[in-house]
Amino acid sequence: MKSDLSNLMRARDLDALMISCPDGLLSVNTAFRYFTGPAHVTNGHIVVARRPDDADLQITLVHTPMEREEAARTGLRLHSLGNYDLREIYQTVNGDRLAGQVELTRRLFNDLGVQGRVCFYGVDERGSSYIFLDALIDANFVEVVLEYGDDILSEARKTKDADEAAQIRAACRLTGQVIGATREFLRGHRVSNETLLKPDGNPLTVGDVKAFIRREEAALGLDDPGCIFAIGRDAGVPHSAGAASDAIQLGRTIVFDIFPRLPGGYYADITRTWCLGYATDEVLQAYALVKEAHDRAEAMLDSTRPSWEYNEMVCDLFEAHGHPTPRQNPGLTEGYVHSLGHGFGLAVHEAPAMRLRALTGNDDPLPPGSVITNEPGLYYPDKGWGMRLEDDYWLNPNGTLERLTEFDCELVVPM
Amino acid sequence: MKSDLSNLMRARDLDALMISCPDGLLSVNTAFRYFTGPAHVTNGHIVVARRPDDADLQITLVHTPMEREEAARTGLRLHSLGNYDLREIYQTVNGDRLAGQVELTRRLFNDLGVQGRVCFYGVDERGSSYIFLDALIDANFVEVVLEYGDDILSEARKTKDADEAAQIRAACRLTGQVIGATREFLRGHRVSNETLLKPDGNPLTVGDVKAFIRREEAALGLDDPGCIFAIGRDAGVPHSAGAASDAIQLGRTIVFDIFPRLPGGYYADITRTWCLGYATDEVLQAYALVKEAHDRAEAMLDSTRPSWEYNEMVCDLFEAHGHPTPRQNPGLTEGYVHSLGHGFGLAVHEAPAMRLRALTGNDDPLPPGSVITNEPGLYYPDKGWGMRLEDDYWLNPNGTLERLTEFDCELVVPM
């Protein structure tokens, strides 16, 4: 969490971090939003500086003059780009845009007292990133440090503090409302020949349901990158988002995996599997087993055992009932075909994870503060079905487990 | 437009382009989406290769096995990452992740026949981009070419072909529907003490209106990065998005600037200014002048005159009526405080633009195929009002001008 940053920077001997967000890239610039939060600051820089005689970091938001009011909402120390006369800077470098950006950075670092080893973050075009950082290395007024994976911000973001957990809890609660409204929406349709019909007599489709879901999310202020609502064979393919033209029919498995985020950027990630009206015996049995895997993993969740134990337990259970698992065959397309869970927060996928022992490579437990999904599933596309059950949890830093999702796990939806 | 790419690559002596989209960054990876279009391919690479004896470029989508069905929808030549055994590759480089990615790229280029001068595009983390490209330069199996601004894809995207114009036209049509529904929504409220009231007796707020707008957009399949709905003083600050708690009142200017996109990624960008019930004489006179500027610019739009002529004409007009313009003072905060128009497409802001002569730096006309906004405005925050009128146009490559937006320009909304 953020309070770890000071120690992480000391351990890597970093004096400062600079996290940049160019105009237009805020939606994916999670490292920038990690500091700016729900305030609508669309571009600028975060400068995190370690001060030699003080444990506290100095975190400054470098903002455009136009966004001064939103910038103030972050509660961060502010520094305006309006302090710099860009025309004058470009004149001093004969209009060279790259040299101008380097000179602006030099003045900025000088004014903020940034020196020493500085690590650079934020999303941007690859070519511009290379050329700018290369020029900065040449200019040599700080030591440019770069990371390829295993970066310090991802390390800090592995665990969430109470404020972050509160935002994720709020996203989960609203997402639960959308799931409930969607079930009622489905139940409100009449059925003919096992098919749900709209008032105009045409079959209700996956596309219609997704439009309903988008409207519900929008009404609650949730931003949706696109959910999975997949029926029948598509439900058996974990990454199929569902075909818009598919009709909604009774008795077939529907995998509904929804992962929207709040304006502050924190996601929820919940999956329910439904069969409208009835389910076949085969599906009922498989679902009972998935539910058992889910509940056993939930009961084990803590910060003591190696993070691979959960998924190994689920593989034991599924294999004992004859379902193939990736432990036996990494490339399989039926049975239990993915990992048990993943962290999330400002991104839908973050560290840590609950994976196989062979893929984990260490015996580290889930650290206190982890926010993680628990999502066992079984997939048989050739039999025309698939299922997954996904809830979210926060391993409270005090040692207790909190389930962040509340929605019931009923498979069969009475019509 | 895309058909210019072959000549642009030849002019810069480039043999190939590689445009990469990491998982999770599709929403901002416009260069990738330029080729994949509305198909929901969330990650992979586009490789554009020039063939020596042929004018046609070979465009290949390198996709994950999981996304093969969506990849096929693009109509592009396909190449699956399933052809490469990542475990074997990582073994050959002793598990080094960076070396593994370089080796994967080497095999990929070998299989696709890519050699010579290759330029790299796509959005990613700055540090990873630098380290990967630096390793690729060292590996030396192609000549790595990088651009800082003025890149070849932005150059191609300056102009739009008929297919792109059709997508933008569709986005503009749906956005017009949202604007119309919003006006009807406002008109459906009762008024007391000059304030619109909700059924529960509380004032209707900007936040309520924005929630309505999001629901309407969602129902039409439009993705919204957040619109401007600003009233009174906020309407006088062009980049204020509007304060959620502001009550909607009669007689005050409302700037409604909405720029959603379709799933294919193409935006619309429309602004209307409304006064509910009535407008003051000062506002009526200013709006008539803004409308005149808008209509005169529209009447001039073509591909013959220098692109700065439009904005200079608008400055002439505003200055003649005593309104300050940026031609007199670049830092002004009242009067006409921005440029006349900007290109858009897969991004809300793209080249070309209609700016001041001093900022344009050349006499180039708007090229045939330009999609551009025309958006004069006047802003007086201290007087409590602001206004802007924005429509979108396509300079058809055949030489005719098409207005892409249809919504009426009535200032006063009868209540």
pLDDT tens digits for A258-313?
999 998 899 999 999 999 999 999 999 999 999 999 999 999 999 999 999 999 99
Cβ-defined contact of A218 to B214 (cutoff 8 Å): yes
Nearest residue of A to residue B150, measured between CA atoms: A128
pLDDT in tens, B305-329: 999 999 999 999 999 999 999 998 8
The pLDDT of residue B381 is 92
State how far the alpha carbon of B69 is from the alpha carbons of A210, A357, B64, B316, in Å.
20, 31, 10, 56
All residues of chain B having their beta carbon less than 8 Å from the beta carbon of residue A157 are none
Cβ-defined contact of B149 to A128 (cutoff 8 Å): yes
Site from B18, B33, B83, B123 to mutate, A interface, most A CB atoms within 10 angstroms: B123
ipTM of the complex: 0.87
All residues of chain B having their beta carbon less than 8 Å from the beta carbon of residue A221 are 211, 214
Structure tokens at A370: 């982890």
B267: left (phi over 0), alpha (psi -120 to 50) or beta: beta
Closest Cβ opposite residue A146 in set B40, B131, B240: B131
- DSSP class of residue A84 equals S
Cis peptide before A381 (omega within 30 of 0): no
Average pLDDT over residues B381-403: 95
CATH class of A158-413: alpha beta
A156 neighbors A4 (Cβ within 8 angstroms): yes
A380 neighbors A255 (Cβ within 8 angstroms): no
Cβ-defined contact of B130 to A125 (cutoff 8 Å): no
- DSSP class of residue B199 equals T
The pLDDT of residue B54 is 66
Give the separation between CA B100 and CA B48, rounded to whole angstroms: 23
Q: What is the mean pLDDT of chain B?
A: 93
**Contact partners, residue B89, CB within 8 Å, separation at least 6:** B100, B103, B104, B107
Residues of chain A with pLDDT under 50: none
Helix (H) or strand (E) holding A58: strand A57-63
Residue B361 predicted with pLDDT over 90 = no
Structure tokens at B299: 């009447």
Give the separation between CA A347 and CA B77, rounded to whole angstroms: 31
The CATH number of B2-156 is: 3.40.350.10
Give the separation between CA B110 and CA B141, rounded to whole angstroms: 9
Structure tokens at B259: 């720029």
Task: Please report the number of interchain residue pairs, chain A to chain B, with beta-carbon separation below 8 angstroms.
Answer: 129
The string of DSSP letters for B200-239 reads TSSBPBHHHHHHHHHHHHHHTT-B-S--EEEEGGGGGSTT
All residues of chain B having their beta carbon less than 8 Å from the beta carbon of residue A226 are 40
Give the separation between CA B307 and CA B356, rounded to whole angstroms: 9
Give the separation between CA A399 and CA A203, rounded to whole angstroms: 50
Write the single-letter amino acid at A414.
P
Which long-range contacts link B311-316 to residues 24+ away (Cβ below 8 Å)?
B311/B339, B311/B340, B311/B341, B311/B354, B311/B355, B311/B356, B311/B357, B312/B356, B312/B357, B314/B340, B314/B376, B315/B356
Nearest of B172, B155, B55, B167 to residue B367 by alpha carbon: B155
Nearest of B362, B352, B361 to residue B395 by alpha carbon: B352
The pLDDT of residue A358 is 86
**CA angle, corner B177, sides to B174 and B180, nearest 5?**
155
Cβ-defined contact of A148 to B97 (cutoff 8 Å): yes
Closest Cβ opposite residue B148 in set A119, A131, A221: A131
Cβ-defined contact of B215 to A211 (cutoff 8 Å): no
| Other C-beta atoms lying within 10 Å of the C-beta of residue A191 | 15
The string of DSSP letters for B135-191 reads HHHHH-SSEEE--SSS-HHHHHHTS--HHHHHHHHHHHHHHHHHHHHHHHHHHTSEE
Helix (H) or strand (E) holding A36: helix A30-36
Nearest residue of B to residue A224, measured between CA atoms: B223
Q: Is B298 helix (H, G, I), strand (E, B) or coil?
A: helix
The pLDDT of residue A392 is 98
The pLDDT of residue A16 is 97
Closest Cβ opposite residue A125 in set B40, B123, B218: B123
Exposed, middle or buried: residue A138 (CB in 10 Å: 0-12, 13-18, 19+)? exposed
A377: left (phi over 0), alpha (psi -120 to 50) or beta: beta
Nearest of B141, B133, B135 to residue B117 by alpha carbon: B141
Closest Cβ opposite residue A239 in set B66, B127, B349: B66
Parallel/antiparallel/unpaired status of strands B350-354 and B341-343: antiparallel
- DSSP class of residue B367 equals P
All residues of chain B having their beta carbon less than 8 Å from the beta carbon of residue A66 are 239
All residues of chain B having their beta carbon less than 8 Å from the beta carbon of residue A129 are 124, 126, 129-130
A68: left (phi over 0), alpha (psi -120 to 50) or beta: alpha
The pLDDT of residue A298 is 98
Residue B157 predicted with pLDDT over 90 = yes
Nearest of A196, A391, A253 to residue A242 by alpha carbon: A253
Cβ-defined contact of B123 to A97 (cutoff 8 Å): no
The pLDDT of residue A54 is 66
Helix (H) or strand (E) holding B309: helix B309-320
Closest Cβ opposite residue A127 in set B28, B146, B349: B146
Let me know if the fold of B2-156 is the same as that of B158-413: no
All residues of chain B having their beta carbon less than 8 Å from the beta carbon of residue A349 are 23-24
State how far the alpha carbon of B352 is from the alpha carbons of A168, A274, A383, B259, B372, in Å.
41, 50, 54, 18, 7
Half-sphere exposure of A104 (CA within 13 A, CB side): 23
pTM of the full structure: 0.87
pLDDT in tens, B211-223: 999 989 988 989 8
Cβ-defined contact of B126 to A122 (cutoff 8 Å): yes
Cβ-defined contact of B241 to A131 (cutoff 8 Å): no
Site from B98, B126, B223 to mutate, A interface, most A CB atoms within 10 angstroms: B126
**Contact partners, residue B141, CB within 8 Å, separation at least 6:** B106, B109, B115
Cβ-defined contact of A24 to B349 (cutoff 8 Å): yes
For residues A391-404, one letter each, b for 16 or more C-beta atoms within 10 angstroms of the residue's C-beta and e for the rest, the string is: bbbbbbbeeeeeeb
pLDDT in tens, B46-72: 999 998 776 689 999 999 887 887 899
Average pLDDT over residues B255-284: 96
A9 neighbors A55 (Cβ within 8 angstroms): no
Closest Cβ opposite residue A146 in set B120, B127, B149: B127
Domain ranges in chain B are 2-156, 158-413
A123: left (phi over 0), alpha (psi -120 to 50) or beta: beta
Cβ-defined contact of B129 to A132 (cutoff 8 Å): no
Cβ-defined contact of A28 to B123 (cutoff 8 Å): yes
Q: Is A350 helix (H, G, I), strand (E, B) or coil?
A: strand
Residue for token digits 């924190």? A266
**CA angle, corner A374, sides to A371 and A378, nearest 5?**
155
Closest Cβ opposite residue B130 in set A123, A133, A225: A133
- DSSP class of residue B251 equals T
Structure tokens at A236: 């058996």
Residue for token digits 């009067």? B335
Cβ-defined contact of B133 to A130 (cutoff 8 Å): yes
Nearest of A337, A341, A362 to residue A352 by alpha carbon: A341
The pLDDT of residue B66 is 75
Torsion angles phi and psi, residue A29, rounded to 5: -90, 70
All residues of chain A having their beta carbon less than 8 Å from the beta carbon of residue B347 are 24
Write the single-letter amino acid at A24.
G
Structure tokens at B322: 């005593």
Q: Provide the percentage of residues in chain B whose pLDDT is more than 90.
A: 80
Give the separation between CA A1 and CA B179, rounded to whole angstroms: 43
The pLDDT of residue B175 is 98
pLDDT in tens, B71-81: 998 999 999 99
Torsion angles phi and psi, residue B191, rounded to 5: -125, 135
Closest Cβ opposite residue A127 in set B28, B40, B151: B151
All residues of chain A having their beta carbon less than 8 Å from the beta carbon of residue B211 are 218-219, 221
| Other C-beta atoms lying within 10 Å of the C-beta of residue B398 | 8
Torsion angles phi and psi, residue A329, rounded to 5: -155, 105
Distance from CA of A324 to the nearest CA of B (A): 19
Site from A129, A147, A356 to mutate, B interface, most B CB atoms within 10 angstroms: A129
Cβ-defined contact of A128 to B122 (cutoff 8 Å): no
